[in-house]
């Protein structure tokens, strides 16, 4: 009886801890890639409205509860602009909140137009920032300042999935959409930071969003 009661108490404590202890996620990427849509999807599960306005600056971080397959976690993330003038806000967000998991969102614009380097330039900035030994303020980073893992999420799969399908026998992580980011992933791996490649339709598939977040928490 006491053993069973102890188990129940332990499970209740873990559940309570997960609710009150929010895990900091940082969501970054080029403008109009779907960061705001992802934020809305985490906050309100289901079909989210079309968003046509660009996010300006850094918004206040908010808590969201992620539930899937009977498991639940509370995460905290902030919506932030994707234009180059706001990249310094990405750094402020990472430093202030000590972000534990980073999601870098991309779409298929670099496949549609090989001269479009929106994602690649933003990715290089992010990787250089994460791998640096100091913050822009010249303060030396501590181990806790580095993220546990970085996810590269290829958003809008509902749009590009048929246009750029997987080849027979090809796994998702080998898809050409991730090809330009391999060098940055190697840099992160050399720093001891694993990378997680994922495809998602943030606007229309909440299950994909929740499963992606939960996979990062559980696997890393």
Q: Distance of CA 55 to CAs 39, 47, 97, Å?
A: 12, 20, 20
Q: Give percent above pLDDT 70 in the chain.
A: 87
Burial class (CB in 10 A: 0-12, 13-18, 19+), 179: exposed
Q: Full-prediction pTM beyond 0.75?
A: yes
Sign of CA dihedral 101, 104, 105, 107: negative
**Could you say which DSSP state residue 46 is in?**
S
Domain extent listing, the chain: 22-219
- CA gap 194, 208 in Å, rounded: 20
pLDDT at 54: 80
Displacement of CA 133 from its chain's centroid (Å): 22
Residue 61's closest CA among 74, 80, 78, 44? 78
Residue 185's closest CA among 216, 150, 218? 150
- CA gap 79, 218 in Å, rounded: 23
pLDDT, tens only, 99-129:
999 999 999 999 999 999 999 999 999 999 9
pLDDT at 56: 83
pLDDT, tens only, 177-198:
999 999 999 999 999 999 999 9
Architecture per CATH, domain 22-219, reads as 3-Layer(aba) Sandwich (3.40)
More confident residue, 90 or 39: 90
Checking if the pLDDT of 90 tops 50, the result is yes
pLDDT, tens only, 121-143:
999 999 999 999 999 989 999 99
């Amino acid at each position: 009886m006491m053993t069973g009661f102890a188990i129940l108490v332990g499970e209740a404590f873990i559940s309570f801890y997960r609710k009150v202890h929010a895990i900091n996620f940082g969501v970054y990427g080029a403008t109009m890639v779907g960061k705001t849509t992802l934020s809305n999807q985490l906050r309100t599960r289901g079909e989210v409205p079309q968003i046509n306005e660009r996010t300006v600056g850094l918004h206040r971080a908010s808590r969201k509860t992620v539930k899937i397959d009977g498991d639940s976690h509370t995460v905290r993330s902030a919506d932030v602009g994707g234009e180059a003038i706001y990249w310094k806000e990405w750094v402020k967000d990472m430093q202030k909140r000590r972000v534990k998991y980073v999601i870098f969102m991309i779409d298929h614009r670099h496949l549609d137009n090989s001269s479009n380097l929106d994602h690649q330039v933003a990715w290089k900035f992010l990787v250089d920032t994460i791998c640096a030994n100091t913050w822009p303020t010249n303060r030396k980073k501590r181990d806790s300042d580095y993220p546990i893992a970085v996810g590269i999420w290829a958003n809008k799969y509902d749009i590009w999935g048929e246009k750029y399908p997987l080849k027979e026998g090809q796994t998702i992580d080998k898809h050409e959409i991730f090809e330009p980011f391999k060098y940055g992933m190697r840099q992160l791996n050399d720093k001891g930071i694993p990378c997680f490649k994922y495809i998602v339709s943030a606007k229309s598939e909440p299950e994909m969003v929740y499963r992606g977040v939960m996979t990062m928490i559980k696997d890393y």
